[in-house]
Structure 1
Amino acid sequence: MNLKPFAALICMASISFSAFSASDTTAQLVNKAKMESRAQASHNLVREADFKKTEQELKALKAQLEAKRTSIQNATDVLTQTFSDNENKLARLEEKLRLETGSLGELFGVVRQNAKELGAELSTTVNSVDRAEHTATVTQIMDAKSLPSMPQLTGLWMSMVEQIKASTELSKTQIAFINGEGNTQTVDAYRLGSIGLVTDQGYVNWNTQRQDAIAYLKQPSNGPALASLSALANGEVSNVVVDPSRGRMLEQLALEPSLTDRLQAGGVVGKVIIGFLVIGLIIALVRGISLAIARQKIRAQLKAPDQAGDNPLGRVLAVYNKEQNRTVEALELRLLEAVVDEQTHLEKGLSMLKLLAALAPMLGLLGTVTGMIETFQVITQFGNGDPKVMAGGISMALVTTVLGLVAAMPLLFAHNILSTQAENIRNILEKQGIGLVADQAEKRAESNPVGSPVGTVA
């Protein structure tokens, strides 16, 4: 059987089926491409419509901004022209004012300058308590931009005359006074010219802006009061302490430290030095009284040498009476022992006094070094621009030095005096002891023949 025609037929059928399948796939792809093309075209139309809408909006905004710019430019041109016209007009008016005022312009400058000086005086002087009638006129001239009028010039002159007269017056008035509790009360006061204001509290600090007064923190010694100024107003002679600086010296007086403030500035080292000084003075006082009593008793003992009393010389005499039967050499040693014992009692506490006198300046030097270290620390932290910041360390350095010297000098002086007194008493005891030994030796020499032993052992 011949199979070739059949195979050929099958091959042709396969080729025809493949061609049919390929053509179907191509058609699908074409249709899909056409659909995507139509969708893209639709999307492009929407985007184009949006672009055109945005373009129209931008064109409208541009036209609006250009119109606004044109309006602003026109307004700027108008204002520039107006400014130029005003400048020309102002220049013509200034020239006209200069020609019309002439030398009055210089007068106006002098008047304003004097008004400012007088206004500064009126803002601080105590004359404003009861002599400020023309102050408003002076203020008007200071603030004026035009030539002063004749009434204003007259008011300025009257204000000057008023202040001159007020500086020579001692007038009594009433003022608003703020006491230490912060309450305001009306009190009587004397205005001492333009120098100060005095109440029962003494000088007070007058505030022109608030129209009230407060007392200064510290008053000068023998400062004025209402009673003394009343006597002065009645024509009686009275010494009045015045502050020619118009309160500046009184303000500085409040800053002057007291003795307590200076001692507190010494810190712990200063307190230790003061403690040493107090202890040393107590020792010196006790030993001084003891030595004075001993000297009085010795003087009384010298008047009655036969009766040995309770005093240094009496105890030496008691040793002599007890040991006079011994040899001269033994008696001399016993008396010397008694004198040394008495000297120990007489010089008791003097070594401590000398030690305190030596320690005081050394502690002062320690405080000085400590204060300088503190000062350098402050300079390192805050710089040296403000001296007040360094005042604490410098005060400690100086105050402790002064305290050390002040403590050392009286202690050394007391030690010298007490040592001298103890030495004098010791000399008296030694002199009396030597005299007793000499008397005993003479007695032994008289009682024993030549070549015999001088003394016997008890």
Structure 2
Amino acid sequence: MKNIVNRLVISLFAGAVALSAGAQETKPLDLDALLKQLEQGKFEQYKQNEAREREFTSQVAEQDAMLRDARARLTAQEKLSGQLETQSEENEIKVTNLKSALDERKGSLKELFGVLQQVAGDTRSKFANSMVSAQIPGRGEFLDKLAQSMGTGSQMASIEEIERVWFEIQREMTESGKVTRFDTEVVEADGTRHQKSVVRVGPLAMVADGKYLEFDGATGSVLELKRQPIDRYLDSAAALEASNGELVKFGMDPTGGSILGLLVQAPTLMERIDYGGLVGYIILAVGAVGLLLGLERMLTLFVVRQKVNKQLKSSVPSDNNPLGRVMKVRDAHPNADTEALELHLTEAILAEMPRLQRNLTLIKMISVVAPLMGLLGTVTGMIITFQQITLFGTGDPKLMAGGISTALVTTVQGLVVAIPMTLLYAMLSTRSKNIIHVLQEQAAGVIAERAERS
């Protein structure tokens, strides 16, 4: 009833608005005309309200019918729901009883199927990483399906499935003891794919074209190692491929690839040198210069020593060696007294010393500077390391490996240059001093001889 009153008020308001709008359109001449116009509008609005009220009353009856129908369907569905709940409880009881009966009938087979499920899962994991799967693909799908079906408990293994599990395990054992050659697609280090003849040594190694391969169980692909081991292992791989059944030496990883993966990650000599950076290259360049100077001095002093030895056996002085040139000073002053001759000989020996000791001071400087340059590289590497720690923290050691490698490698490079340079300087200095000692000894003999004459 309240809804009806609200609708009537809204209708009267709408009618008044319409009349006011009509009144604005047609202006009355006087008050009587305005009154008459309002009476006519009220009568028409009354008719419209009655029509709307009848329409609303008819819709109320229709809505009541729909409500009764909905309540009837709700009652029917509630009744059906109760029946289904009762049936569900009965079914749960039946399923529980059937499971109990199934467990009783399984008996010891239940433990057997549990072991079989575990064996199937473990064998599937082994097949996924076994190199035998590169030659015999698709072995793991059967084991995977068997483990999943038995895991859900919806299906028991048949005799054929149990025998196939045994067959696959036995085939893996048999193939593990063979050296087999087969053709398959190989993904090379540059990403290209080629059909190649592959030699497989059990589940431990595979080689093709003299290079080591690996098996990716996730994709089932045979991949060429991006970094190969050193040449002696590659030579053994080539020898294995070229053999016709005879025994050959072959580098094999008993862990199935773990040791080989670590081995190929070891940096080469050039990579280790690169770790030293700019400071490392400068140290090596300085060391190379020192080595060249040392070799030149070593060869020169060897030749001079041979000529001096030859001059010792000859009484005729020669200009091609220091001793001969010193002896010529004696012959150039035959009438000089002992003191004057001693001074002339000392002058001649002093003139020969720079030739004999040339570049020795530079070699000594290199032996001293090289460790200092290595220390410079160490400090530089540690600065880089601390900067990386400041930016990224210490969570990832790989971020700090570059700076630490630079620090350690430059230290090693400095010592590698300094130690040989120190030994080389000591050896060359000893040789030059020995030659100078011979010159001084011979000069002392000449002075003594001249003193005896006097």
The TM-score normalised by the length of structure 2 is 0.77
**Is structure 2 residue 165 aligned with structure 1 residue 153?**
no
1:196 aligns with 2:201: no
What's the CA shift string for 1:39-62, capped at 9, x where partnerless? xxx9xxx9xx9xxx9xx99xx89x
> Where does 1:243-322 land on structure 2 (aligned, <5 Å)?
243-322=253-332
CA distance in 2, matches of 1:319, 1:402: 50
The size of the alignment, in residue pairs, is 398
Q: CA deviation at 1:358?
A: 0.7
The sequence identity of aligned pairs, in percent, is 33
Query: Which of 136, 148, 155 is the matching residue for 1:143?
Result: 148
Alpha carbons 1:190, 1:226 under 8 Å: kept: no
Is contact 1:138–1:155 with CA below 8 Å preserved after alignment?
no
Measure, in 1, the Cα distance between the counterparts of 2:396 and 2:277: 22
Task: Report matched runs for 1:327-366 at 5 Å.
Answer: 327-366=337-376
Greater shift, 209-218 or 367-376, is seen at 209-218
Alignment RMSD, CA only? 3.5
Q: 1:279: Cα distance to partner?
A: 0.9
Conserved 8 A contact 1:137-1:155: no
Contact kept? 2:215, 2:221, Cα under 8 Å: yes
SS at match of 2:433: helix
Question: Per-residue deviation at 1:209?
Answer: 4.9
Q: Are 2:430 and 1:420 equivalent residues in the alignment?
A: yes
1:68: how far off?
A: 12
Alignment of 1:175-254 (within 5 A): 175-216=184-225, 217-220=227-230, 221-223=232-234, 224-225=236-237, 228-229=240-241, 231=243, 233=245, 236-254=246-264
> Does the aligned pair in 2 maintain the 1:131–1:162 contact within 8 Å?
no
Quick check: 2:134–2:221 contact (8 Å CA) kept in 1? no
Please give the per-residue CA displacement for 1:350-396, whole angstroms capped at 9, x wherever unaligned: 11111110111111122222222222222222222222221111111
- CA change 1:109–1:141 in 2 (3 A) is same
- After superposition, the Cα gap between the structure-2 partners of 1:83 and 1:418, relative to the gap in structure 1 and judged at 3 Å, is farther
What does the per-residue CA deviation read over 1:292-326, in whole Å, with 9 as the maximum and x for residues that have no partner?
12111211221223333232112211222223432
Q: Aligned equivalents of 2:136 and 2:443: distance in 1? A: 90
Shift of 1:101: 1.9
Q: Distance in 2 between matches of 1:363 and 1:71?
A: 96
Q: Specify every segment of 5 or more residues in structure 2 that has no aligned partner in the other structure, as ranges.
A: 1-44
**Structure 1: which 5+ residue stretches go unaligned?**
1-41, 445-458
Which residue in the other structure is 1:99 paired with? 104
Distance, in Å, in 2 between the alignment partners of 1:79 and 1:337 is: 128
Q: Does 1:433 align with 2:443?
A: yes
Note if contact 2:372-2:414 (Cα within 8 Å) is conserved in structure 1. Answer: yes
- State the partner residue of 1:454: none
CA gap of 1:73–1:276, structure 2 versus 1, over 3 A, is farther
Please tell me whether Structure 1 or Structure 2 has the larger radius of gyration of its CA atoms.
1
Q: CA deviation at 1:93?
A: 3.5
Residue 123 of structure 2 corresponds to 118
Counterpart Cα distance in 2 of 1:76 and 1:277 = 94
1:165/1:68 Cα in 2 relative to 1: closer, same or farther (>3 Å)?
farther
CA distance in 1, matches of 2:144, 2:325: 95
